[in-house]
Amino acid sequence: SHTMSEYVRMTDTERDQIDQDAQVFMRTCADAIHQLRTEAHKGVQSAQVKEHRTAVLDFIEDYLKRVCKLYSEQRAIRLKRVIDKKRL
């Protein structure tokens, strides 16, 4: 209970800023993955190296998609709570 009394709630402005920063970060990551994918095979002769790089980039892209999905679900919960509060 002592730690709960020290807990300070975030303001809506802080939450909005985190949402905005998260969206920019996710977009930046997606762009970086796309750029890496286009550059991954330049100058590479080995099919094994190409296949490995493709697999790694696929894994990273899939991970980012799962993070984005989780973020979207969390944001939807937050928006639903805001709407419910406004109804009351």
- What type of residue is 25? F
Instruction: Give the residue extent of every domain in the chain.
Output: 14-87
In the predicted structure, residue 5 carries a pLDDT above the cut 60:
no
Q: What integer pLDDT is reported at residue 85 of this predicted model?
A: 87
Q: Using alpha carbons only, how large is the chain's radius of gyration in Å?
A: 20
What separation in angstroms does the CA of 43 have from each of 22, 29, 54, 62, 65?
34, 24, 15, 25, 29
Beta carbons within 8 Å of 26's beta carbon, 6+ residues apart: 64, 67, 68, 71
Of the two residues 7 and 34, the one the predictor is more confident about is 34
Mean pLDDT to the nearest integer, 79-83: 90
pLDDT tens digit sequence for 21-76:
999 999 999 999 999 999 988 887 899 999 999 999 999 999 999 999 999 999 99
Q: How many beta carbons lie within 10 A of that of residue 33, not counting itself?
A: 16
Q: What integer pLDDT is reported at residue 12 of this predicted model?
A: 82
